[in-house]
Amino acid sequence: MTDIPTSTPIRSGPRINLRDAGTFFGLVLIFAVFAVLTPVFLTAPNLINILQQSSINACIALGMTFVIISGGIDLSVGPTAAVSAIVGATLMIAGVPIPLAVMGAIATGMACGLFNGTLVAIAGLQPFIVTLGGLSLYRALALIFTGGNPIFGIPTEFRDAINGVVLGVPVPVIVVAVIAVILWVVLNRSPLGEYILAVGGNPEAARIAGVPVARTKITVYVLSGGLAAVAALILTGRLGAADPTMGNLWELDAIAAAAIGGASLMGGKGSVVGTLMGAVILGGLRNGLTLMNVQAFYQLLATGIIILVAMLIDRATRGRA
Amino acid sequence: MAPARRHSPSRRDGPHESIDMTTSASRLSLVGVSKSFPGIRALDNVSFDVRPGEVHGLLGENGAGKSTMLNILSAVLQATQGKIFIDGQHVTPARPADARAAGIAMIHQELQHIPQLSVAQNLFLGRPLTTAGGMLVDRRAQERRAREILAGLDPRIDPRAPIHTLKVAQQQIVEIARALLDDAKVIAMDEPTSSLTPSEFESLAALIARLAAQGKSIIYVSHKMDEVFRVCDRATILRDGRFIDTVDLSQITEDQVIAKMVGRDILHERHVTHARPEVVMQVEDLSDSGLIRNASFALHKGEVLGLAGLVGSGRTELLRLIAGIDSAKSGRVILNGKPVDLRNPRSAIRAGIGLVPEERKKDGIVRERPVSSNIALPCMGRFSRFGLVRRRALHAEATSLMKKMGMRPPDVNRAIGTFSGGNQQKAIIGRWLAADVDILLFDEPTRGIDVGAKSEIYDLIAQLAQAGKSIIVVSSELPEIIRLSDRVMVMREGRISTILNADAISEDAIAANAIPKSQGPLAVAQSIEVLS
């Protein structure tokens, strides 16, 4: 076939930054609109508030981004978070030192991810179905273990740590920022990142090129499970309780943030910075509408519209794929 | 290759007769067609004509403008300048549907249909025969009409069968049927044989001849010179978007045509062997659970071993076993004295075996990723330190590899999908050079690659052998196998039937060992024809 380079543009490496610039533009636009509509919106305390409110979704969405880039999906993040929170809370209440309890919670989330990843990568089941099964399974485990009741009595040291503020920035925001920096390096500067992008872009070519495909896939699910646990710990610390129904529909917010940030559900594409901005867009939207006393039903409507508009703009600017 | 040409080629070197471009008998005329993209003039003032009942080749290297020309004919693109006449009438199709209505049908290289729908449903896609005042699709009428059309093409095709159950060759016939349904006057075929077996090509060639006899004009785009000479009456040659010549194929040789396309002669350069006596790889009794039975052979250092055989004889399967992609049932591969762990490609690569796969898009490249990443995949360890990729080292090595191989443009940060097939192939070869494997397995290394890049790939393979790499090349093109190989191994029905030494290599010897034994001498003679 004759190739006319200009007739079939394909996104190349550096252009991903262009996509991030687009997301940033969307973010600025939405914030500008709210700044005009409600004066309170664009004040430092409120902006920090937005970041804090977005931190849990951002944490989940970062893991989701990696799974999506690898060509998969993780619908089980909410229940994984719930199980992890229950394990963490139970350990804390049983008197286990807090750092150990935190590690126990994260290990629980990673174990859920390992289970998902093994079924996807080794047994060869479809990610959607595996994690849909996990969604029910982990929720059931959390409900059975607790009898459906929240676990109260989280130690104050832990609650204070999560609700703390360092140099004016809430701890959850710092935690998520640190995670994001590490994940950016992993995706853009590490062999694992290359493997994830290759496996998502073309799994068969990656295998033939010697990429450890199964190990790479399992790793992203373990990562997603671990980050779900981190999000669960943040929420547990803020609420002072671990609720077995925690994390309902988290997976949808996370997928939305990743998609707004430029992750392709076909795999092979996605951005850490984009996903963070996607989470802040969704958080800012909810915050702004709440400030304007818009009913919750309409907030849902606005969220849906933003997601679809973002995808339409994405499609139009990428050209025909 | 000695194709069964329709006309005996003339050996004279003088200028052939020029063809009257203004003949009133032309079915399709292009006059001064130009097409510009930002920064590129893809077509520059191209004029040629196609007669009724003529099979007209459209030849040129990648980037010569063939695809642009086809896209303009089918109104996917609009010409910047120039006119198109059909039967003397000026047509200005603005959309693909207009081109179809004007009588121009396109058979794309990648066939376009909906796999789950039936043959008849696909034929009438978008303009169904209806009943009940247009409310309902009249399936029975569609099937009847489909059967009528297909009867003249291939009566074995059942109009009710889901189209994905058909072989590729039959799916192609359905596309042709669709063109006939449109009452097309001109049928343009883009690389129609890229996924056909030789016997399927035979049927297609016969079908094309029948269509031409019925007065249809065929435009035939192909890289395969022997096919073009076999099928076409005349051909128009493009180079760098410019019209070079329209030639009568009965008056010109294959070499002369290639010379017009690229300006030099590539298949007849002499083969020089770099093989050394020491055995590098020993394959012993390798079998899989399907086709491959007890494959045993030795590969020497610096040797190029050709692997020939009919399509389906197990050539690709054998390469995949050796590369650890599919799992072997029994047997082993010994490399540098040690048995190779063939459980997965990764372990085979670690042992020093790399495969350049036939289907580059599917099995070779990750198209959105930069060339440098595609090169580094098998040996990320080499390019990383403390868990991080050493981007500068990777970039430097990839750039120097690609410069050595003549990649254009030499920008390793660009997505590999934006490069031509030849450049992608160079990147895949570069991948194995970066990984420093000892054994390179090439599966149809020049498929879908234009003539110019082909000769570069041939040179590369020779250079690799000279550098001490050992190479196995699978190819369906006998001249290519003969041009490249020190020895030729022939496969037949999953077994190695013979290994021909340099002095025994000939098209006849390869063909005789490739044909299934159960068939008589007549079949052998026919297959020799098919193979070449």
Q: What is the DSSP string of B435-492?
A: TT-SEEEEESTTTT--HHHHHHHHHHHHHHHHTT-EEEEE-S-HHHHHHH-SEEEEEE
Pick the residue of B194, B319, B347, B369 with the most A CBs within 10 A to test the interface with A by mutation: B369
DSSP state of B415: B
Evaluate if residue A10 carries a pLDDT over 60: no
The residue out of B123, B152, B182 marking a domain boundary is B182
DSSP, residue by residue, A95-107:
T--HHHHHHHHHH
A185 pLDDT band, cuts 50/70/90, is: very high
Query: Mean pLDDT, to the nearest integer, of B232-248?
Result: 90
Whether residue A301 lies within 8 A of chain B, CB to CB, comes out as: no
Residue B393 burial (C-beta neighbours within 10 Å; 0-12, 13-18, 19+): middle
Angle, alpha carbons B338-B342-B346 (nearest 5°): 105
Whether residue A181 lies within 8 A of chain B, CB to CB, comes out as: no
**B38 cis-preceded (ω within 30 degrees of 0):** no
Phi-psi region of B452 (alpha: psi -120 to 50; beta: other; left: phi over 0): alpha
* Residues 502-521 of chain B whose Cβ lies under 8 A from any Cβ of chain A: none
- Kindly report the CATH number assigned to the domain that includes residue B305: 3.40.50.300
Residue B472 forms part of a structural domain: yes
Evaluate if residue B5 carries a pLDDT over 60: no
Report CB contact under 8 Å: B363, A204.
yes
pLDDT at position B477 is 83
Whether residue B357 lies within 8 A of chain A, CB to CB, comes out as: yes
- CB-nearest to A194 from B367, B380, B448 is B380
pLDDT at position B194 is 75
Residue B58 forms part of a structural domain: no
CA distance B160 to chain A (A): 31
Tokens of A58: 């951002």
- Domains of chain A, by residue range, sit at 43-318
Q: Over pLDDT 90: what percentage of chain A?
A: 82
pLDDT at position A321 is 37
**Cβ atoms of residues A250 and A162 within 8 Å:** no
pLDDT at position A1 is 38
Q: Which residues constitute the domain of residue B178?
A: 115-182
pLDDT at position B265 is 54
pLDDT at position B404 is 86
pLDDT at position B166 is 87
Whether residue B344 lies within 8 A of chain A, CB to CB, comes out as: yes
Task: Pick the residue from chain B with its C-alpha nearest to A205.
Answer: B363
Evaluate if residue B275 carries a pLDDT over 50: yes
Pick the residue of A6, A188, A194, A211 with the most B CBs within 10 A to test the interface with B by mutation: A194
Kindly report, residue by residue over A82-99, the tens digit of the pLDDT. Answer: 999 999 999 999 999 999
Task: Pick the residue from chain A with its C-alpha nearest to B420.
Answer: A3
- CB-nearest to B377 from A5, A14, A209 is A209
Task: Pick the residue from chain B with its C-alpha nearest to A198.
Answer: B366
Give the torsion through C-alpha atoms of B360, B364, B365, B366, to 10 deg.
130
Chain A residues inside the 8 Å CB shell of B366: 197-198, 201-202, 205-206, 268
Kindly report, residue by residue over B481-531, the tens digit of the pLDDT. Answer: 988 999 999 999 899 999 999 889 888 889 889 887 655 555 555 555 445
Whether residue A10 lies within 8 A of chain B, CB to CB, comes out as: yes
Helix (H, G, I), strand (E, B) or coil at B355: strand
Evaluate if residue B187 carries a pLDDT over 80: yes
- CB-nearest to B420 from A3, A201, A210 is A3
Beta strands across the sheet bearing B81-86: B89-91, B81-86, B28-37, B40-50, B242-248, B234-239, B55-59, B217-221, B186-190, B104-107
Report CB contact under 8 Å: B60, A5.
no
Of the listed ranges A227-231, A292-296, B323-327, the one predicted with least confidence: A292-296
pLDDT at position B264 is 54
**Cβ atoms of residues A154 and A237 within 8 Å:** yes
Which residues fall within 8 angstroms of residue B313, CB to CB, at 6 or more apart?
A: B491, B492, B493, B494, B514
The residue out of B165, B182, B199 marking a domain boundary is B182
Report how far Cα A310 is from the mean position of its chain's Cα atoms. Answer: 18
Question: Is beta strand B304-309 parallel, antiparallel or unpaired with respect to B470-474?
Answer: parallel
- Alpha-carbon distance of B185 to B54, in angstroms, equals 11
Claim to verify: residue B144 and residue B285 sit in the same structural domain: no
Report CB contact under 8 Å: A3, B323.
no
The residue out of B139, B154, B182 marking a domain boundary is B182
Evaluate if residue A258 carries a pLDDT over 60: yes
Task: Pick the residue from chain A with its C-alpha nearest to B380.
Answer: A191
- Cα distances (Å, whole numbers) of residue A207 to A215, A297, B57, B371, B438: 11, 47, 39, 17, 19
Of the listed ranges B166-180, B390-404, B419-433, the one predicted with least confidence: B166-180
Question: Is beta strand B186-190 parallel, antiparallel or unpaired with respect to B104-107?
Answer: parallel
Evaluate if residue A133 carries a pLDDT over 90: yes
Residue B47 burial (C-beta neighbours within 10 Å; 0-12, 13-18, 19+): middle
CA distance B62 to chain A (A): 4
Kindly report, residue by residue over A232-247, the tens digit of the pLDDT. Answer: 999 999 999 999 999 9
Pick the residue of A2, A8, A10, A216 with the most B CBs within 10 A to test the interface with B by mutation: A2
pLDDT at position A318 is 64
> Quick one: CATH architecture of A43-318?
Orthogonal Bundle (1.10)
Chain A residues inside the 8 Å CB shell of B77: 7
**Cβ atoms of residues B232 and B226 within 8 Å:** no
Strand positions, DSSP E, A6-111 = none
Evaluate if residue A8 carries a pLDDT over 60: no
B11 pLDDT band, cuts 50/70/90, is: very low
Kindly report, residue by residue over B113-148, the tens digit of the pLDDT. Answer: 888 888 998 888 877 888 877 788 888 888 999 998
Kindly report, residue by residue over B26-85, the tens digit of the pLDDT. Answer: 899 999 999 887 766 788 899 999 999 999 999 987 667 888 899 899 888 889 899 999
Report CB contact under 8 Å: A6, B38.
yes
Total count of residues recorded for chain B: 532
Whether residue B389 lies within 8 A of chain A, CB to CB, comes out as: yes
CA distance B452 to chain A (A): 13
Strand positions, DSSP E, B195-278 = 217-221, 234-239, 242-248
Residue B95 forms part of a structural domain: no
Which residues fall within 8 angstroms of residue A48, CB to CB, at 6 or more apart?
A: A168, A169, A170, A173
- Alpha-carbon distance of A120 to A114, in angstroms, equals 10
- Alpha-carbon distance of B330 to A22, in angstroms, equals 55
Residue B392 forms part of a structural domain: no
Claim to verify: residue B295 and residue B161 sit in the same structural domain: no
pLDDT at position B170 is 86
- CB-nearest to B109 from A1, A197, A211 is A1
Chain B residues inside the 8 Å CB shell of A6: 37-40
pLDDT at position B479 is 82
Whether residue A184 lies within 8 A of chain B, CB to CB, comes out as: no
Residue B111 burial (C-beta neighbours within 10 Å; 0-12, 13-18, 19+): middle
CA distance A225 to chain B (A): 22
- Domain count across chain B: 2
Whether residue B369 lies within 8 A of chain A, CB to CB, comes out as: yes
Report CB contact under 8 Å: B380, A4.
no
CA distance A272 to chain B (A): 17
Chain B residues inside the 8 Å CB shell of A12: 368, 370, 413-415, 418
Whether residue B312 lies within 8 A of chain A, CB to CB, comes out as: no
Which residues fall within 8 angstroms of residue A57, CB to CB, at 6 or more apart?
A: A231, A250, A253, A254, A257, A279, A282, A283
Helix (H, G, I), strand (E, B) or coil at B319: helix
A152 pLDDT band, cuts 50/70/90, is: very high
Q: What is the mean pLDDT of chain B?
A: 85
B267 pLDDT band, cuts 50/70/90, is: low
pLDDT at position A12 is 40
Query: Mean pLDDT, to the nearest integer, of B324-333?
Result: 93
**pTM of the predicted structure, to 2 decimals:** 0.74
pLDDT at position B329 is 92
Whether residue B157 lies within 8 A of chain A, CB to CB, comes out as: no
pLDDT at position B201 is 86
Which residues fall within 8 angstroms of residue A21, CB to CB, at 6 or more apart?
A: none
Query: Mean pLDDT, to the nearest integer, of B406-422?
Result: 85
CA distance A154 to chain B (A): 37
Residue A316 burial (C-beta neighbours within 10 Å; 0-12, 13-18, 19+): exposed
Which residues fall within 8 angstroms of residue B29, CB to CB, at 6 or more apart?
A: B21, B47, B48, B49, B50, B84, B85, B88
Evaluate if residue A54 carries a pLDDT over 70: yes
pLDDT at position A183 is 97
* Residues 64-123 of chain A whose Cβ lies under 8 A from any Cβ of chain B: none
Kindly report, residue by residue over B293-305, the tens digit of the pLDDT. Answer: 999 999 999 999 9
Q: Over pLDDT 90: what percentage of chain B?
A: 42
- Alpha-carbon distance of B384 to B394, in angstroms, equals 9
Question: Is beta strand B470-474 parallel, antiparallel or unpaired with respect to A151-152?
Answer: unpaired
Whether residue B327 lies within 8 A of chain A, CB to CB, comes out as: no
Report CB contact under 8 Å: A2, B364.
no
Query: Mean pLDDT, to the nearest integer, of B210-226?
Result: 89
pLDDT at position A158 is 96
Claim to verify: residue B306 and residue B449 sit in the same structural domain: yes
Evaluate if residue B19 carries a pLDDT over 60: no
Chain B residues inside the 8 Å CB shell of A182: none
Total count of residues recorded for chain A: 321
- CB-nearest to A6 from B39, B325, B346 is B39
Task: Pick the residue from chain A with its C-alpha nearest to B428.
Answer: A209
- CB-nearest to B431 from A3, A5, A209 is A209
Chain B residues inside the 8 Å CB shell of A195: 377, 380
Report CB contact under 8 Å: A207, B325.
yes
Whether residue A178 lies within 8 A of chain B, CB to CB, comes out as: no
pLDDT at position A245 is 95
| β partners of residue B138 | none
pLDDT at position B290 is 87
Instruction: Between B335 and B476, name the one with better pLDDT.
Output: B335
Report CB contact under 8 Å: B345, A198.
no
Query: Mean pLDDT, to the nearest integer, of B420-425?
Result: 87
pLDDT at position B272 is 81
Chain B residues inside the 8 Å CB shell of A319: none
Residue B205 forms part of a structural domain: no
CA distance B325 to chain A (A): 7
Task: Pick the residue from chain B with its C-alpha nearest to A10.
Answer: B418
pLDDT at position B263 is 55
